[in-house]
Structure 1
Amino acid sequence: MLRSLIYFLIIALIAPLAFAQDSAAKELAKRQEVLARIELESQRFESATSDIERAAILYERASLYNFLGNISSAITDLSRAIAFNPTFVEAYYARGSIYNNAGFASRAAEDLTQVLRINPNHQLALRTRSAVYMALEQYELSLNDMNTLISMNSSVGDLFYQRGLVFMKLERFPEAITDMTKVIELSPGNGQAVLARGALYLKTSQFAAAKRDFQKLLVAMPDHEELQKLLQMAEAGIAYTGSLN
């Protein structure tokens, strides 16, 4: 019930984005343009005079392959780029991101860890690895990365929200409530955080606090049945016994 409500809130509270619909002709033209750029990068590679230059060219060509959805060729080029330049941070990060998007979480974690060996302050790698560890159900490792990120960015609400989700996985509910409260302080209109905190209050039998959060959400969505059910549970003093994840 909570999961479906969170999805509803994401849709309801984020302003709609207008996306232009490219015609088939434009899509074909773009694809041909990218293929031409791949050919150009291939020619540049043949005339490159140093390993660093070769690595940079392969990195660029990998991004083009990735754009086309040719994941295999993208990974091959990034692996070759790393072989030419073993400290090429962005090549490791790009390959790790592709592995992550393709569902190869363990391989992604290896590449992102290598990024952080070379550059411990690489924030994108920290954030992505934290998400990868969540997928691998290695929640303590995910928490460590979120703690490091928050130490660098103590005013970014979304980081507290993500760490709150990790605390929820670990069933460290008081700390999750603290993080969701921080999110709301930084972004008062964040309905996801209000919902998560309300659910946490309900889970921990803090019924008056849960009631306040659900009532706040119902002001914006007065007819939402699942929210109404959660409010009724808070009013009746019935703790939520299901999973919060």
Structure 2
Amino acid sequence: MSAIDIEFKMTDKQNSISFFKNVRHLLVILALSNLHISLLQPALAQASSDAQVNQIRMSLMLLDAKIRSAPSAEAYFMRGSANAALGKNEAAEADFALAESLKYSTNLFEFYEKRGSNYLVLKKNEEAIAPLTKALALKPSDPSCLINRAAAYFELARYKEALADAQKAVKLYSQSSAAQQLVGTCYLKTGQYQSALPYLNQAVELEPRNFEALHYRGLAYQKLGKNELANKDFAEALAKGYAPGKTFEEVN
């Protein structure tokens, strides 16, 4: 048994509580995460600096030791959160599943939100809906969950449900480029091209690097017969490296 294993052999409840409190402090960066898709802010699950990456790696080391000596639902959930923040999404889902099997109950909203968001990163859109719906049952006005569930519905071509969630998110958090884009693209996908424009305009205004929204606005202009404006948007999006199928985070 290593020294670190011995260190984390908890002898009482107070020590265990203290351990998780300290690790939560190390994982404060996870507040940025809600998702990789950058739904509320561009940069969900990926750490944005070397210092943050090192902080999360340190938390993983502590959690690995804790799980070896005294596995618990809380430890698996927190390790899953750390793995998700580092982009290790398959490992994160394995940990979330173990936390669920051990009846994790400390913060169910956070659990459902993170698991649903992680499914979204894994492109498991159908699986993402159930935990996000459970999270919204606990906090119906959480814009991040609304945007993430809207994104899952959108990828499944369930545009009516996606639009309803995205519109709620816009009302709650009008400064989200992602939410504005989702409303606009839902209108675009359902043939409501004129209705799409104000939202896509706002998405681009809020986040000039959102070249995906710029591309979709070009499509809306094209459908409305405004080819000069459409070509301008397409050219600008392509000049910045956007290609259909890529999110704007991937081209920056």
TM-score (norm 2): 0.59
State the 1:203 CA deviation: 1.4
- Write out aligned runs for 1:226-241 (5 A): none
Which residue, 195, 217, 231 being the options, matches 1:214? 231
Which residue, 39, 54, 63 being the options, matches 2:64? 39
**What's 1:121 paired with?**
141
* CA–CA distance in structure 2, aligned partners of residues 114 and 131 of structure 1: 16
Distance 1:188 1:132, change over 3 A: closer
Which stretch of structure 1 is more off in the superposition, 117-126 or 69-78?
69-78
Instruction: Write out per-residue CA displacement over residues 151-188 of structure 1, whole angstroms, 9 at most, x where no aligned residue.
Output: 01223334222211111111111111222233355557
| 8 Å CA contact 1:167, 1:175 repeated in 2 | yes
Which residue, 121, 129, 140 being the options, matches 1:101? 121
Check if 1:63 corresponds to 2:88: no
Secondary structure of the corresponding residue to residue 70 of structure 1: helix
Which stretch of structure 1 is more off in the superposition, 143-152 or 121-130?
121-130
* CA–CA distance in structure 2, aligned partners of residues 39 and 186 of structure 1: 40
Q: Which amino acid aligns with 2:74?
A: A
Secondary structure of the corresponding residue to residue 180 of structure 1: helix
Which stretch of structure 1 is more off in the superposition, 94-103 or 126-135?
94-103
Q: RMSD value over aligned CA atoms?
A: 3.9
* CA–CA distance in structure 2, aligned partners of residues 59 and 38 of structure 1: 10
**What's 1:51 paired with?**
none
State the 1:34 CA deviation: 6.6
**What's 2:95 paired with?**
74
State the 1:72 CA deviation: 5.3
| 8 Å CA contact 2:180, 2:200 repeated in 1 | yes
State the 1:102 CA deviation: 2.8
- Write out aligned runs for 1:153-232 (5 A): 153-186=173-206, 192-205=212-225, 207=226, 210-212=227-229, 214-215=231-232
| 8 Å CA contact 1:164, 1:176 repeated in 2 | yes
Tell me the matched-pair count. 188
Secondary structure of the corresponding residue to residue 175 of structure 2: coil
Q: Which has the higher helix share?
A: 1
Secondary structure of the corresponding residue to residue 149 of structure 2: helix
The unaligned stretches of length 5 or more in structure 1 are 1-18, 22-26, 47-53, 225-245
**What's 1:15 paired with?**
none
Q: What percent identity do the matched residue pairs reach?
A: 19
Distance 1:172 1:60, change over 3 A: same
**What's 1:141 paired with?**
161
Asked which structure has the greater CA Rg, the reply is 1
State the 1:40 CA deviation: 2.5
Instruction: Write out per-residue CA displacement over residues 19-52 of structure 1, whole angstroms, 9 at most, x where no aligned residue.
Output: 999xxxxx9x999967642333226746xxxxxx
Q: Which amino acid aligns with 2:78?
A: E
TM-score (norm 1): 0.60
